[in-house]
Structure 1
């Protein structure tokens, strides 16, 4: 039985999704400062590896970076509801560049939405 990773196109799908996502992040005045590197390439690669691993692809993320510990890795940044909603907006725009079957789209979106809500660590502006 193929994994979800295989069903949606493997690495090529996630590379395109995350590249599109970071196009929005690059010009976002709230989110861009959360990425200290000038080049978003390393962030793109980390996020791609993370999603690949989560959805049944290679375990490269954990091999290179250890356990994801998403909340801990995001703790240094002010992730409020506005940041969450901006993040989700850029992700929705990226996802809209694909013509996924409804079940696959909703499966992926459900995870991304839940993950974004879980990263909120403050309600301060």
Structure 2
């Protein structure tokens, strides 16, 4: 079976999606505190993470490691409203990026983003290492 990475259109499609999502997040009043300014490599890192999650190249793990994403979220204190809006903005970017409208693909993507937003929120609120989400590797998402 083809991977979600291949089905999505590979690096080019995922990069297009991540750029659209990131631009929307930076402009969104609910997400402004979580995304206060454009960071030079954020789109590239988002692309690497999503690609690896969906069965593509393992660049995120090889170049950054999962602890990187934990540390990026620590202390952000993501609210429920911000977490929910993050998911909404991500899913809205799918159409604009021209990713497949296939129902199974969209459901897998929704589950991936929803799960990730919960992990990020928990890590953002953690005051001790014991309060961090137990996930310590890029999750591998399939159909």
TM-score range relative to shorter protein: 0.7 to 0.9
For normalisation by structure 2, the TM-score amounts to 0.73
Distance apart, 1:70 and its partner CA:
4.2
Distance apart, 1:105 and its partner CA:
1.0
Paired residues of 2:87 and 2:117 also in contact (CA < 8 A) = yes
SS in 1 for 2:121: coil
> Partners in 2 of 1:55 and 1:68 — Cα distance?
19
Residues 34-73 of structure 1: CA distance to partner in whole angstroms, max 9, x if unpaired?
346x434411111111001111111111111012564443
- Alignment root-mean-square deviation, CA: 2.1
**1:45 matched to 2:44:** yes
Residue-pair matches, total: 121
Q: Which runs of 5+ in 2 are unaligned?
A: 126-143
Partner of 1:119: 120
The runs of 4+ residues in structure 1 deviating greater than 6 Å are none
Paired residues of 2:25 and 2:35 also in contact (CA < 8 A) = no
Q: Judge which range, 8-17 or 26-35, deviates more.
A: 26-35
Q: Judge which range, 9-18 or 24-33, deviates more.
A: 24-33
Q: Which runs of 5+ in 1 are unaligned?
A: none
